[in-house]
Amino acid sequence: MSRTDDLQRIRAALRAAAEAIRPYTPGDVAWERKEERGDPVTAADHAADAVLRAMLPAAGEGWLSEESVDDAARLRCDRVWVVDPIDGTREFIDGIPEWCVSIGLLENGEPVAGGILNPATDELMIGAAGSGVIYEGPEGPALEAASAPPAPTGGASSQDRGTAHIDAPLVLASRSEIRRGEWRRFQGRFRVRPCGSVAYKLGLVAAGLADATWTLVPKSEWDVAGGAALVLAAGGAVTLADGRPPRFNQRNPSLPNFVAVGAGPGGRARLRDAAAALDRLLIDLREISS
């Protein structure tokens, strides 16, 4: 099935949302706390949300966004757009270039297409089931992430934790989880690099710039739907920590945790390796959760 129209709509909406955010300066923007959860929100979040809602859902398509009032009508829709206008609002507020606009398209609860744009770094990851993933960065032509992902730049950075060899899997982790010491048990086994937005982390895994990412804290569907679509389109795997597949477009759009493993260089040829890596990660995660 061709996803050309869906991908064109995603690409245009990502760029339009970035333009809506442009008047607001990362690191120097007013913000307030949401009443329901206390999470920070800015006028930029609302501006991007309005643009995305105007451009994405067509007649009969559902809508779920962090910055919109949820409408249960989406539960009756076969196609649902799930977006986070700014994933990583804390990073946006602090001026850390690890935030993004995230778009995911569900069909019958399955993530089938997605796009992630980091306006701060000018990185775009976009893809769909059957079409692979395209990574576009600020330095040159687009790369086919599903078949020849770009190599991570700079090797093991000063942010990599532990004594794992340079060839060990690179896992992207939440900064707050690292500060709480939750990643010490992996020292020497993986290269662990802190990163902000979970959607951005998933996009980097899908693009082959990292091998895996996971979290043991709950995530909303809008945090991970776009990234999940990209990881799957690139030949990777997504799961919950207990091995169950994540379910999307639920009445309560919350997931207890989330694990993503990329396919790595060679796309389909690395699927077996990715599955084995995922099995090892799940064993570690179940030990932590128990």
- Which domains can be identified in the chain, with CATH numbers? 4-144 (3.30.540.10), 170-289 (3.40.190.80)
- For 267-277, what is the mean pLDDT? 49
CA angle 195, 67, 44 (to 5 degrees): 70
Q: Is the dihedral of CA 208, 235, 134, 115 positive or negative?
A: negative
- Rounded-to-integer distance, Cα 243 and Cα 238, Å: 9
What's the whole-model pTM score? 0.87
- For 137-157, what is the mean pLDDT? 48
In this predicted structure, the answer to whether residue 266 has a pLDDT above a threshold of 60 is no
Beta strand residue intervals within 40-98, DSSP E = 40-41, 62-65, 79-87
Give residue 267's pLDDT band: very low, low, confident or very high (50, 70, 90): very low
Instruction: Choose the weakest-confidence range: 19-23, 82-86, 115-119, 175-179.
Output: 175-179
* pLDDT confidence of residue 241: 86
- Spatial neighbors of 232 by CB under 8 A, at least 6 apart, are 111, 129, 238
* pLDDT tens digits for range 21-64: 999 999 999 999 987 777 899 999 999 999 999 999 999 999 99
Helix H or strand E segment including 127: strand 123-128
| Cα 52 to the center of its chain, rounded Å | 17
Helices within 150-270 (DSSP H only): 175-179, 198-206, 221-233
Pairing between β-strand 110-118 and β-strand 191-195 as defined by DSSP bridges:
unpaired
Helix H or strand E segment including 44: helix 43-55
Q: Are 88 and 200 in contact (CB under 8 A)?
A: yes
- For 107-126, what is the mean pLDDT? 97
The most confident of the ranges 144-148, 231-235, 266-270, 285-289 is 231-235
Residue whose structure tokens are 């093991």: 156
Residue whose structure tokens are 């609860």: 109
Helices within 207-270 (DSSP H only): 221-233
